[in-house]
Chains A and B, each alone.
Chain A
Amino acid sequence: MNILILIIPMALLLGAGFLYAFFWATSNGQFDDLSTPSLRMLDQDSKHNKNDTKENIL
């Protein structure tokens, strides 16, 4: 039973850690716009690989 005394604060601490991470992400605006980043990811056209990605499309 005594192990609970150790485990529970650790569990709570872990929870608090995740909560903090969520707060940090929210404050950084990661949840402001949920639709555009999914489109941005599809941009294949960064300068150096422009040519080979073209061929992939066609």
Chain B
Amino acid sequence: MEKTKIDLINQSTACRYCGTLTTRPVYCCSACEKLDSDFSFLKHQNDNNPHSYLDKPEYAASFLNENQYHFFIENLQCSSCVHLIEKLPEFYSECTVARVNFGQNLLTIEMTEKGQLSEVARLIEDLGYTAYLIKKNDYQNSARNKSNRADLKKIAVAGAVAGNLMIFSFAIYAGADGIALEFFRWMNLILFLPLLIYSAQGFYVGAWNSIKYKTIHIDLPIVIALVSSFVFSTINLVLGSNDFYFDSTASFIFLILLARYFVKITQQHYLSPVRLGSSLTNQKYSKLDSTPIVSEQIKVGDVIRIENNQTIPVDAILVSQKALVDTSYYNGEALPQVFSEGLQVYSGYKNLSEPILIQATSTLQSSQLNKLLTQTQDSLLIKNDYINLSDKLSKQLVSTVFILAGLFFVIYGYIYSYNESFNRVLALIVVACPCALAFGSPLTMAIAFKKAQKNGIALRNANVFEKLTQVKNIFFDKTGTLTQGHLSLIQTWPENINEELKSVILGLEKKSYHPIAFALRAAWKNTQTSPSLQNVQESFGSGVKGQIITPTDHHDLVDTYEIKSLPENMHEDDLAVVVLKNSQAVARLYFNDELREESEKLVHNLQDHHYNCFLLTGDKKSRALQKGQACGISQNNIFAELYPEEKKSIVEKYHATMMIGDGLNDSLALSASDIGISVKGSSHLTIDSSDVLFLRGGLEPLVELFKIGEQAHNTLKRNLTLALIYNITAGSCALLGLINPFWAAVLMPISTFIVLISSLWGFRK
């Protein structure tokens, strides 16, 4: 693994514009290339804007959110992308403000009244970005920012209070007397009030819910400790005693608030600002009479034209005679399929052939794709019920502490005095309050998140680490997960094909969106495409035909070239074609969707560690067996020709599951598994239904994830042990009457410090 990393660095050069190391030639991304140029590629013309449908007032209004429009930009790469997009007002004078939020892939636009949304959309596209307008109702960022700001303010107040209280308390412990002592004593109370009333609000809500739903939540003991220490300290203040818990309570509230905030923002970072939604909304299509129509407005019976490389938005019947369709997004089938007139096609299919006509049999709302989406959303709701380890343990600890405190109060109070009994019980609750627990777990999580992020792993759910240690069954998707997800040319006959023939073959495939065409273009990058081909005809599913006509003195010499697919029983690869020149075979080309380099090693590695590996795919049985067994997955664990629902039900049969996938067809299984992982390049919906997203290509981050998971688990366990030891020692001291507020103020920071060191230590490698 180390080696491949080093290889990558060796190959890379610095981007000419921004200096980022990159494996691409000259520039790291198109933004840098454009920023280094003179912007002449932007053609300012108002006619024929493909986005003009956005300007309809009722349509534009559904996106306007407090004078701002928000776009989700898919392919932001580096700082240059930010600069380039923020230059929008220079290119379009009606646009007044353009602000990018890099972390969340968001663009915020403000315009004058004359500004046209279509123009902005076109400019963004011209700059080379894929942008989605976010609907007003789907935009969650303003609500999120509002709550984050409120949290920050609460933390600021708690911090200020805790810091000042410490200074004043220190003066009291140090032996202040006279007016100064009185002054400091009352200042303690006054300073504590903002924290009690303002900063701790969140805990009250949590505690109230805990009572309402009759569950033990960590907020409940925190509130009890907070309120009882406040009441006790105030009574002592009035009675003239110096036994206060103001300072120690304030500092633990501050620390807990801080740790929680870190966990919250790290998680938010990866939640997309757009709510779970189909990427097919707001897409433009055209009707039979070429009037534009937006995907949501398509009604049953409408005849829609689907351009080359466009996705079918609704379930429909094919009207055109034939169509070559990529169904991988929907069912994971690796190779495109031919559909003929009258057959049912589903939303999410992609048209690879010439423009076709379809007649809608559903609306966007009632399409199969949308059903899948709703089901996924439903299963996500169920999933959040998971109870994690530290929660369970802290519940037990909390119950133990309270039972102990109750018993002690009654018995000691009965034997000696209730007054002294109350003092000791309160010391127990304040000292043994699960500070180390409440602070330690979120801190461990935050560090683990941060480390995962550095390794190209985005987590959307803090429970992932705890669930990781329990995982036994790992399900892999085939296409795009174990394999690279696209065909590559792996073998040719004859071994060396001359440049002339290559250029003819490329010429034949020039206009094609068939995976073979992409594979050939990738394999023969340096070959020129032959310009002299005539009469090129693509016949659906079976091949391409074309002619080269060379004029000679007497008559024209006609060479007919043809590319035909070979039947499956003649080869062992995913796809093979033969090239014919005047009906004579001149070359054969073999294609395969190759396994990723690391797949085999990874699966073997996992099986050595007693994980059960499975392969789930919508693709053909033969291909699934071939690829699965090449990875070392046993035949009984390979399931092929599955629909999304079937994938889900297989995953549900097992416990402690992890599913790794990339396609829409995996999304149900992803949300049904305990841990759903989507690999880089996954579709939007897939990302939304999984807990983990790999930002680095391939499956290598999985190894890293398991390692971080183990570290997190060990650290959590150590923190819990430390907290337990601390709680038992400090608790018994409190019950023996050895703890006074001074010792509480000393012990609590020490325990926090130990947990902090322990957490950092756990992730040192």
Whether, in the assembled complex, B33 has its beta carbon less than 8 Å from a beta carbon of chain A, the answer is no
Contact B179 A26 (CB under 8 A): no
| Closest A residue to B194 using CB positions | A19
| Docked pose: A29 CA to B101 CA in angstroms | 12
| Docked pose: A57 CA to B20 CA in angstroms | 12
Contact A8 B178 (CB under 8 A): no
Enumerate B130-164 residues with CB–CB distance to A below 8 Å.
145, 148-149, 152-153, 156-157, 160, 164
Given contacts A33-B103, A36-B100, A43-B83, contact A4 B180 (CB under 8 A): yes
| Closest B residue to A18 using CB positions | B160
Q: How far is the CB of A4 from chain B (nearest CB, A)?
A: 6
| Docked pose: A19 CA to B161 CA in angstroms | 10
Contact A57 B164 (CB under 8 A): no
Contact A45 B187 (CB under 8 A): no
Whether, in the assembled complex, B79 has its beta carbon less than 8 Å from a beta carbon of chain A, the answer is yes
Given contacts A1-B180, A4-B180, A19-B157, contact A35 B103 (CB under 8 A): yes
Contact A31 B152 (CB under 8 A): yes
Contact B183 A5 (CB under 8 A): yes
Contact A39 B102 (CB under 8 A): yes
List B contacts of A1 (CB < 8 A).
178-180
Whether, in the assembled complex, B17 has its beta carbon less than 8 Å from a beta carbon of chain A, the answer is yes
Q: How far is the CB of B17 from chain A (nearest CB, A)?
A: 7
Contact A40 B86 (CB under 8 A): yes
Whether, in the assembled complex, B82 has its beta carbon less than 8 Å from a beta carbon of chain A, the answer is yes
Q: Which one of A26, A36, A40 has the highest number of Cβ atoms from chain B below 10 Å of its Cβ?
A: A36
Whether, in the assembled complex, A32 has its beta carbon less than 8 Å from a beta carbon of chain B, the answer is yes
Chain B interface SS verdict (over half): helix
Enumerate A5-48 residues with CB–CB distance to B below 8 Å.
5, 8, 12, 15, 18-19, 22-23, 26-27, 29, 31-36, 39-40, 42-43, 45
Contact A4 B183 (CB under 8 A): yes
Chain A interface SS verdict (over half): helix
Q: Which one of B79, B145, B157 has the highest number of Cβ atoms from chain A below 10 Å of its Cβ?
A: B79
Q: How far is the CB of A18 from chain B (nearest CB, A)?
A: 8
| Docked pose: A16 CA to B234 CA in angstroms | 24
Q: How far is the CB of B450 from chain A (nearest CB, A)?
A: 14
Q: Which of A8, A32, A40 is within 8 Å of B149, CB to CB?
A: A32
Contact A32 B179 (CB under 8 A): no
A-B CB contact pairs (8 Å), 24 listed: A1-B180, A4-B183, A12-B164, A18-B160, A22-B153, A22-B156, A23-B153, A26-B149, A26-B152, A31-B148, A31-B152, A32-B101, A32-B148, A32-B149, A33-B102, A33-B104, A34-B103, A35-B101, A36-B101, A39-B83, A40-B83, A42-B79, A42-B83, A43-B79
Q: A45-B35, A57-B19 are in contact. List 15 more A-B contacts (CB 8 A).
A: A4-B180, A5-B183, A8-B187, A19-B157, A26-B152, A26-B156, A29-B145, A31-B148, A32-B101, A33-B104, A36-B101, A43-B83, A43-B86, A45-B83, A57-B17
Closest 3 CB pairs of A and B: A39-B79, A36-B102, A35-B103
